[in-house]
Amino acid sequence: MDPSSTGIQEPFDLIRLSLSERVFVKLRGDRELSGVLHAYDGHMNLILSDVEETVMIVDAVDGTLEGQGTVAKRKMEMLFVRGDGVILVSPPSRM
């Protein structure tokens, strides 16, 4: 990714390019979101619309990942995400 051709200078530029696109967001507390990104700020607070939330549950009994699976998926039309819970924002795959 050549900076001069794509205009990406810093990490937030990558997020800026994803505005109005569907993004994948990983949050602390074993949550993941998929939604359309409408806004962000310097704290990584986000506004997403048409969102599906997936909550993972890790089975602590056997201590391995074998018990892990999705517990709940929920859909919301519009939501605000507090930035300190955001682990990563992944832009949609490009051709």
Contact status: 39 vs another protein (CB under 8 A)? yes
Measured from the Cβ of residue 56, the count of other Cβ atoms closer than 10 Å reads 13
Judged by beta carbon, residue 34 or residue 53, the one nearer another protein is: 53
Binding range to another protein, per CB under 8 A, among 2-10, 38-46, 61-69, 87-95? 38-46
Beta-carbon contacts of residue 11 (< 8 Å; ≥ 6 apart): none
Question: Rounded to a whole number, what is the distance in angstroms from the first to the last CA of the chain?
Answer: 14
Q: What is the binding site for another protein (CB under 8 A)?
A: 16, 19, 27-29, 31, 38-41, 45-47, 53, 74, 76, 78-82, 85
